[in-house]
Amino acid sequence: MARRARSILGHVLGVACLVAIVLSGAVPAEAVESGSFGWPLRPRPAVERKFDKPERNWLPGHRGVDLAGVAGQSVLAAGDGIVVFAGKVADKPVVSIDHPGGLRTTYEPVLAQVSVGSRVSRGTAIGTLETGHEGCPAPACLHWGARRETGAHNRREYIDPLGLLHEVPVRLKPLEA
């Protein structure tokens, strides 16, 4: 009887710990990610500023998400692709990767460790995060953007990069008595 009680107690404590982890948001990204794209920072970062699609491409909006990080942290390719830009735009270091299907992801401020033409895989280190992303409350923030070439006229459509992540929700199953 005591052995069965310890077994049940062990299961209950395990479930309680899992629930606490899930509710705290500290679920390891590796445990819930699937699909072609993953988070560009590890561990899974907090989203400091969400995507705000502009009504028209030239109007105000936030064409990506800002992810909290640490200066010097490795920035990872979110998916497989080819580096199409690694340099500065308006004095900010930027890396852009083209992915299959007309998708491009952009990462800033990132000091590149890759060069134009390099093939990268999901999770490949592409550079290091620098400080200086204006408007972000964290000491260092990664601005991660995504756009897709659409239609016959190759129009650019900004999309929420978080939509590229196909996270599998954690499902808790009842204990069997």
Containing 92, the helix (H) or strand (E) segment is: strand 92-99
Q: What is the pLDDT of residues 46-85, one digit of tens each?
A: 998 887 776 666 655 557 889 999 999 999 999 999 999 9
CA distances (Å), origin 42, targets 66, 125, 142:
14, 11, 12
Which tens digit of pLDDT belongs to each residue from 117-150? 999 999 999 999 998 777 778 889 999 999 998 7
Looking at the predicted structure, is the pLDDT value of residue 34 above 50?
yes
Question: pTM of the entire structure?
Answer: 0.72
Gap between the Cα atoms of 18 and 15, Å rounded: 5
Residue 21 clears pLDDT 60, i.e. is over it? no
